[in-house]
Structure 1
Amino acid sequence: MTVELLQLPILLLLFFVLLFGIGFILNMLLKTTWFPIYVYMIVMIPAVIYWQYDNSTNLWGNVSGYQLADYLTAAGGFIGAYASGATIKTLRTKGYRMF
């Protein structure tokens, strides 16, 4: 799957905003700070790898099957999850009790 040059920034922004929004809401509801990063690293990344894993090749063949756009998308989501935790932490230190 090739991603056009125009699609890549939109994809990165979409995943950043998606994970930031979900992480921000989860942080507000669960009163945690870094929960979305843990969920992203422990649940989402292994689930995606498991669903796309091909048993006919070895591990290196599966890892090299991903393209740069796949890794950038995962990084954009991780940055969004981290930014939501940092935002909640900043709001809490500035005295917002709702967060």
Structure 2
Amino acid sequence: MNIVQFVISILLFTILAFGIGFIINMILRTTWLPVVIALGVIIGTLLYQEIVPNIFDSIILGFGMLGSIMSGWTIQLLRKKGYRMF
């Protein structure tokens, strides 16, 4: 894997997971459901591959998980500050 592809993949997975998690949090009014969904996707991906994933795949999936955790933290912080989403 090229280093440029690796860095762009990390950014895309983090931003994508944050955005999708933020929208799910606003619509369903839950805080940590996207983290559970992301964890299920990661485990499903690792089981479906049937091979040991390389370090690059693991890092990219880890940053996707970080993005979903950040979305839960952001929604929780906004709710504590008095913002209501939907």
Quick check: TM above 0.5? yes
2:43 to 46, 56, 75: 46
Unaligned runs of 5+ residues in structure 2 are none
TM-score normalised over the length of structure 2: 0.92
Computing the radius of gyration from Cα coordinates, the structure with the larger value is 1
Percent same amino acid among aligned pairs?
A: 43
2:71 to 84, 87, 90: 84
* 67-76 vs 78-87, which moves further: 67-76
Is 1:73 aligned to residue 73 of structure 2? no
CA-CA distance at 1:47 after TM superposition: 1.8
2:18 to 13, 17, 20: 20
TM-score normalised over the length of structure 1: 0.81
Letter in 2 for 1:39: I
* Partner Cα separation in structure 1 for residue 43 and residue 85 of structure 2: 33
Moved over 6 A (4+): none
CA deviation vs aligned residue, 1:22-57 (integer Å, no higher than 9, x gap): 00000000001111111111x20222123211xxxx
Q: Which has the higher helix share?
A: 2
* Partner Cα separation in structure 2 for residue 23 and residue 83 of structure 1: 9
* Partner Cα separation in structure 2 for residue 68 and residue 47 of structure 1: 17
Q: What do you get for the CA RMSD once the two structures are aligned?
A: 1.2
* Partner Cα separation in structure 1 for residue 84 and residue 3 of structure 2: 43
Unaligned runs of 5+ residues in structure 1 are 54-61
Aligned residues: 86
